[in-house]
Structure 1
Amino acid sequence: MTIERRHDIDWLRVIAIGLLLIYHIAITFQPWAMFVGFIRSDEPMENLWKPMTMLNVWRIPLLFYVSGMGVYFAIRKRNWQQLLAERTKRILLPFIFGIIAITPLHLFIFQGYYKMPLSYYPHAGHLWFLGNIFAYVLLLSPLFFYLKKKEDGRFMKILSSFMSNPFGPLSLSVFFVMETLILKPQIFEMYAQTWHGFFLGLLAFFFGFLFVYSGKAFWQTVLKWRWLYLCLAAVLYTIRWMIFEMKSPGYLMAVESNCWIFGVFGFAYKYLNRPSTILAYLSQAAYPVYIIHMFALYAGAMLILPLEIPLMLKFIAIIMFTGIVCYVIYEFIIRRISFLRPLFGLKWKFKNVEKAKVLTDPTGSSN
């Protein structure tokens, strides 16, 4: 079976990880950074948080959508046993390894920076996302494989027709609105290790699968109406900023989040759905970088924040330091040491290419 590679989805995954790095670095310069376990700059940059609040209602839901889309592509080439085996290797193994060996590292740096007694305990930290994704695969795989058997059936035709209307995708926001009304999260953007984050992610993961399952109708709709979605998102963001002082009710944030995401999907589909050597490299690097970036960020904050340099230069320097350290660790350690690769979500690297063709999954990544 020949399956079209969706380069725009690959790009969105890479871009979302990049935004995550910048977002986490911005937290370092907020006065409340220590309350969420980040090293804090003595000089805050509170104005930096205005653009970050635009990002934080949709950057994590976007990743959940994209992850659900990845499962659609995966099950077109795998049965349920192969899917669970592949997701166990690519998600559960790095998740467990990260809890034991990676997330405690930035805790050590935090403790050292504030001269606290050093202590070790395994914790999920920023890798909570992986635990959620693996749980969604377990919960939704039976339904996904049932839908796969019914592909081109009545439900898919109805879904495709529904997605051809600009209000089709947008109307699904009602489920996200219901989630906020039922769970009543105190902070909408608090996704990590909360029931709100779990169920919001479950919805996005499920609908991400359905969007690609519905065929080209969804993509043609977000392509055609991308400006409408972005304008709606901008209006809701302006209301949040000017009227609610960045604390809109959760149901408004849920709608705003999806408007941003559908607009982003439309622009990505138009401009990013093409191959490139840069994308091929970044797509492989994104997952390991996500796993290690907090260690690099905390190390950068520890070294750069005490320097007597302008505040904005500190922010830029930490971004550059984090990016360079992540690149060096990925390129010269993770990527090149075979036994480390699966611990960071990469496939085993074989010297004998012909042997690799026999022993590894020949279909490549999920997309």
Structure 2
Amino acid sequence: MLSVNRRYDIDWLRVIAIGLLLIYHIAIGFQPWGVFIGFIQNNEPQEWIWTPMALLNIWRIPLLFFVSGMGVYFAIQRRNWKALLLERTKRILLPFLFGMFAIVPLHMWLWQNYYHQDFSFIPNPAHLWFLGNIFIYVLIFTPLFFYLKSKSSGKLHNIIQRLMGNPLSLLLLMIPFIAEANLVQPEQFELYAMTPHGFWLGMIAFITGFMCVYFGKSFWQLVMRWKWVLLTISFALYVFRIQDLSYNSSYTLMAIESNLWIFAVFGLGYSYLNKPSKLLTYLSQAAYPIYIIHMALLYLASWIIFPLSIAPFFKLTLVTLFTFVGCFILYEFVIRRLNFIRPLFGLKVLEKKVKTTADVPIMTSRVEKSV
């Protein structure tokens, strides 16, 4: 079996990806089409915001699927298949169901109230669709992952590990993504939520993320060495994309750019983020609950702030602050501290510390001291 060390860079990338997701969703409220995909929309659109958001939109969700697959790799190193499925049921399926019936209706009510509609709710995962997909992937690939775990010292693994030291191996990893995009031909590459494209792309990214860690250090040393080249090519493709409307119809180029961004991010993370910190420990625990609740806080912020007669830039600032600060306050003072709530947001129940004789200070009398 491969030795497993804590990968702090992967923890950081998960935190960063969820932070970017919040920013991306905030930006949608300032686009002229936001209301058509279920967001509360500001009356004065700020379309300039979408230029930097376009840099993120073709790799932010695939990155989360990559990281989720990597998380499963680390999880199976200390669990059998039954323990893995039980743990993922508690951590993914339970929050998914709770969120769908308790969190999603909150922001749907805010949207309907803002636009003066009668409240109606048909159960749907909304922004939590990602969790449902992940749970399905775990069920599908658990047998394969445990088989690969049993062969982690075999000849095939060693051959693949050596191949991953060659930059051309990154092109091989892109082939399934290119094939998926051209076969599914999504209306827009960045439309992932509850679409066939999102499901199949997520599945490929999930298993590829697992394999990137399974391959060992050769993959990570490769992306670390080539990170600046990968980043330069990614940015060049992004600039070309936003200037050439026909680029968006090229599924091959979109898939290539998406993967190059992700490989560049992995290289940067492995170079600079693979170290522990107290901040990471806190944010790593907070990221998942904040992902679950953020839409309710974002919609509440929009519901309060958008009607105000202030400049759009100040609205953007206030909505951003309200969403982030509100999420952290709710996490810190409610979700994190109430044991009966923690499992509903994918957190473990805190065990109560039982006092033992070792914890009780021994009191001695003056007579005992003098003996």
TM-score under structure 2 normalisation?
0.93
Change in 2 beyond 3 A, CA 1:294/1:274: same
- The letter for the 2-side match of 1:297 is L
* Worse-matched range after superposition: 265-274 or 160-169: 160-169
The corresponding residue for 1:40 is 41
Tell me the equivalent position of 2:301: 300
Contact 2:96 2:132 in 1 (8 A): yes
Counterparts of 1:160-199 in structure 2, within 5 Å, are 160-199=161-200
After superposition, residues 85-104 of structure 1 pair within 5 angstroms as 85-104=86-105
Letter in 1 for 2:50: W
Aligned pairs (5 A) from 1:1-367: 3-244=4-245, 247-352=248-353
Q: Give the Cα separation in 2 of the matches to 1:71 and 1:169.
A: 22
CA distance in structure 1 between the aligned counterparts of 2:163 and 2:60, rounded to whole angstroms: 26
Q: What is the rounded CA distance, in whole Å, between the counterparts of 2:131 and 2:207 in structure 1?
A: 16
The structural deviation recorded for 1:64 is 0.3
**Is the 1:21–1:293 Cα contact (8 Å) retained in structure 2?**
yes
The separation in 1 between residues aligned to 2:119 and 2:80, in whole angstroms, is 46
**What amino acid is the match of 1:144?**
F
Question: Partners in 2 of 1:52 and 1:276 — Cα distance?
Answer: 29
Q: How far apart in 2 are the matches of 1:36 and 1:295?
A: 16
Mark the runs of 5 or more structure 1 residues left unpaired by the alignment: 356-367
Give 5+ residue unaligned stretches, structure 2: 357-371
**Residue type matched to 1:59 in 2?**
R
Contact 2:9 2:274 in 1 (8 A): yes
**Once superposed, which parts of structure 1, at least 4 consecutive aligned residues long, lie more than 6 Å away?**
none
CA contact (8 A) 1:104 1:123 kept: no
Deviations 1:205-258 (A, max 9, x none): 001001100110000000000011111111211221122266242221110000
Shift of 1:170: 3.1
CA distance in 1, matches of 2:354, 2:10: 28
1:334 shift after superposition: 0.6
- Cα distance in 1, alignment partners of residues 210 and 290 from structure 2: 25
Deviation at 1:353, TM superposition (A): 6.0
What is the CA-CA distance between 1:122 and the residue it aligns to? 2.1
Deviates more, 1:195-204 or 1:117-126: 117-126
Deviation digits for residues 139-185 of structure 1 (CA, Å, limit 9, x no counterpart): 11111100000011112112111211112123311111110111111
Shift, 1:3, TM fit: 3.3
CA distance in 2: counterparts of 1:248 and 1:120, whole angstroms? 35
TM-score with structure 1 setting the length: 0.94
Using the alignment, how far apart are the partners of 1:251 and 1:3 within structure 2? 35
Per the alignment, do residues 125 and 354 of structure 1 end up closer, same or farther by CA in structure 2, a change over 3 Å counting?
farther
User: Contact conserved, 1:170 with 1:259, CA < 8 A, in 2?
Assistant: no
Asked which structure has the greater CA Rg, the reply is: 2
Query: Do 1:6 and 1:273's aligned partners in 2 also have CA atoms closer than 8 Å?
Result: yes
Residues 114, 303 of structure 2: 8 Å contact kept:
yes
Alpha-carbon shift at residue 121 of structure 1 (Å):
2.8
- Is the CA contact 1:22–1:319 (under 8 Å) kept in the aligned structure 2? yes
The answer for the alignment partner of 1:359 in structure 2 is none
**Counterpart residue identity of residue 169, structure 1:** L
Q: Separation in 1 of the partners of 2:255 and 2:66?
A: 14
Q: Deviations over 1:82-126 (max 9, x none)?
A: 000000000000001111111111000001111111123321000
1:53–1:246: 8 Å Cα contact kept in structure 2?
no
3-state secondary structure, aligned to 1:23: helix
Alpha-carbon spacing, 1:353–1:244, altered in 2? closer, same or farther (3 Å): farther
Whole-angstrom distance in 2 between the partners of 1:91 and 1:3: 23
Aligned residues: 355
Q: Tell me the percent identity.
A: 56
In 2: Cα distance, 1:67 partner to 1:118 partner = 35
Q: Give the Cα–Cα distance (whole angstroms) in 2 for the partners of residues 96 and 253 of structure 1.
A: 33
Aligned partners of 1:165 and 1:221 also within 8 Å: yes
Q: Does the 8 A contact of 1:170 with 1:258 survive in 2?
A: no
Q: CA separation in 2, counterparts of 1:344 and 1:74?
A: 19
